Chains A and B, each alone.
Chain A
Amino acid sequence: MFDAAPILEGLALLADWKVMAIILLGVFFGIITGAIPGFSTPLAISIMLPLTYPMSPVLGIAFLTAIYAGGNFGSSISSILLNIPGSPQAIVTGFDGNPMTKQGRASEALGMAVASSAMGNLLGAIFLILVMPLIVTVALMFGPPELFLVGVLGLTVIAALHNSFLKAIIAGGFGVLLGTVGMTSTGAIRGTHGYFELMDGIPVIPALIGLIGFSELFYMLQQRYVAGGSGSKGDSQKNLHRLLYGFGRVLKHPVTVLKSSTIGVIIGALPGAGATVASVVSYNEAKRSSRKPEEFGAGAEEGLISAESANNASEGGALATMLSLGIPGGLATAVMVGAFMLQGLIPGPRLFIDHQGLVYGIMFAQIVASFFLFMAGLLVSLYAAKVINIPTIVLIPLIAVFSVAGTYAISLQMFDVKIMLFFAALGILMRKYDYPLIAVILGIILGPILDRQLMRTFQGAGELSLGIFLNRPVSLILLCMILFCLAPIALKIYRNTRESLGYVKRT
């Protein structure tokens, strides 16, 4: 029978100004730290973890989830304005967000990002409350073969990233290989070249900052301002108007928001997949189902909305798995498991039985955080948009120093900073010869997921055959989805090849 008492108890926990204040503070802290390249959400949460010790459980956990929500949006600010994603989940946001900035629509893009993030977060929280048992059931149906196919589904976006399919494949494959570097679950050490720092694999964030961020600075240096037409003094009222206009544009795409958030929640609930995979899969789906797929990558509103909604909604899914099963889906939720333990609580099925009111309180705190995210996001964006009015010769030294500090802060190792430099050099070369940088980063992120799950599939079945994937209903559905995503790309390649051959024959 439906019991409203724990829900009311959860709501009562929130009826305290201190909870509201701490959520607002967490959202602000998350947004600001998220906007610094390298300052990832897990890092921000882990820094604030000791502060939650003297707090009550609802206060401490609400604070950390608010940082999580703010960080997811904050990392998109630098991605949209400077093409430097604050953390991996904001990579896809930059696909269309940065072209919008270059078209002089920075405030509009930020407004859209704020609205999509807040809505994604809100929908994720609602999903979390309403369908958590179902999400957990679905997530439990995902074994290694299914998680491998989720990774492959994420990889299909690589094929659609660039005009040259071959360049995208080479770059993506190279990224996947880099993603497999390090010690495997079988104890084998691959490709570390004697550097013990590489045992856990190529550090993603330094690679991301170097490849996309630092290499961008070299090209940014060739122009006076980040976006053409900048340099005029920003009019705050005009900026606010544009931000709100961007917000309004999101309301014109309710299906995209809803679909992307659903994808975000489901992928977020899968252990190991996370916000980056959620945004990649969602973006791919939005492009596939769009009436104007050719606009994706050149400032398509749907592209930005799909990426932002999905990566923020994934938080709801990740919290569902963490709260109900005690399984952290990623680094951020792993730190939050620590926060629960600090409060003497252990996430898992018992948490629901013993502390139902608290769990509902945390879920409702997510909804409150979504509203605060909207307000704080607009306020921060209003001032952040002015960054593009700073001349690049002043902006570049500032970004460079922040990037180095942010990269070093991840694990307090100069090795990470050197990795960033190495990838910056590679990024400059790749930009010069028009190779998709994102393909390499996606490969580095998805490589370990693919490798680990394929290895587990092999170890579980004792062999590797297509039958393993065909005999499982969920993996069969995923296989169909992969083929569905690849079909338009295959058709495009076929047409291009036929045209090229026709051209050769005629000449």
Chain B
Amino acid sequence: MGFLRELGRKGGEFIVPSIMLAYATYYYLEVSALPRREVNLLLIQPVYFVILAAFLVLVAAYVCRSLAGKNGQATNGEASERKITNKVATLSFAVLTVAYVYGLGWLGFVVSSWLYMTLLLMFFSVKSWLIIAAFPAGTALFIYLTFDMWLSIPLPKGILF
């Protein structure tokens, strides 16, 4: 039962492959239901079975390692070195980015970008008020002038600008 406890504790390791396998299974079944199944599944079927086999071997390897008392898998080092430590800044960045993307259509590019950058700089504890005041406005204006005015790429316009 030791490995099951280990599996539960370190279950996060399987979040990514589980998401990928779940999507692959759903996609495979969806395409299987289409007419001319043999043509549509030409590539999808072998790829799906490769993913399935790799997932099963990954789980089996993990179980074997747990039974042998060897913890986890060897990583390339990068993941263990790079952890999210600044949780408040990270969370505020995530929330503000989602709000920014969904607010773009409503407020328009210039206003929402200015607001987004200003709030981010404040949440990131930037001390200089000059940077907080001038940098977001300058950047938003620069992008607008470059994209919209010079290159004729219209950016989202909202109720204000």
Q: Chain A interface (Cβ within 8 Å of chain B)?
A: 47, 162-164, 166-167, 169-171, 173-174, 176-177, 180-181, 184, 186, 188, 190-191, 214, 217-219, 221-222, 297, 393-394, 396-398, 400-402, 404-405, 408-409, 412, 414, 417-418, 421, 424, 426, 429-435, 447, 450-451, 454-455, 458-459, 464, 500, 503-504, 507
Contact = CB atoms under 8 A, between A and B. Distances in A.
B16 A401 contact: no
Chain B interface main SS type: helix
B121 A397 contact: yes
Contact of B47 (A176, A412, A417, A418): A176
**Which one of B13, B135, B143 has the greatest number of beta carbons of chain A within 10 Å?**
B143
Given A174-B51, A414-B156, A434-B76, A393 B126 contact: yes
Nearest to A506: B68
A404 B143 CA distance: 11
Contact of B143 (A174, A393, A402, A421): A402
Contacts, number: 201
A414 B106 CA distance: 12
Nearest to A193: B30
Interface residues on B, range: 35 or more
B121 A393 contact: yes
A182 to B, nearest CB: 12
**Which one of B51, B125, B126 has the greatest number of beta carbons of chain A within 10 Å?**
B51
B20 A503 contact: no
A191 B27 contact: yes
A404 B144 CA distance: 12
B23 A394 contact: no
Chain A interface main SS type: helix
A404 B30 CA distance: 32
Contacts of A500: 61, 64-65
A412 B73 contact: no
A166 B94 contact: no
Interface of B: 12-13, 15-17, 19-21, 23-24, 27, 30-31, 34-36, 39-40, 42-44, 47-48, 50-51, 54-55, 57-58, 61, 64-65, 67-70, 73-76, 78-80, 82-86, 89-90, 93-94, 97-98, 100-101, 104-105, 109, 113, 116-117, 120-121, 124-126, 131, 135-136, 139-140, 143, 147, 151-156
Contacts of A170: 16-17, 20-21, 51, 54-55, 58
A219 B86 CA distance: 9
B79 A507 contact: no
B76 to A, nearest CB: 5
A393 to B, nearest CB: 4
B156 A394 contact: no
Contacts of B34: 188, 190
B153 A47 contact: yes
A170 B124 CA distance: 36
A305 B44 CA distance: 34
A429 B16 contact: yes
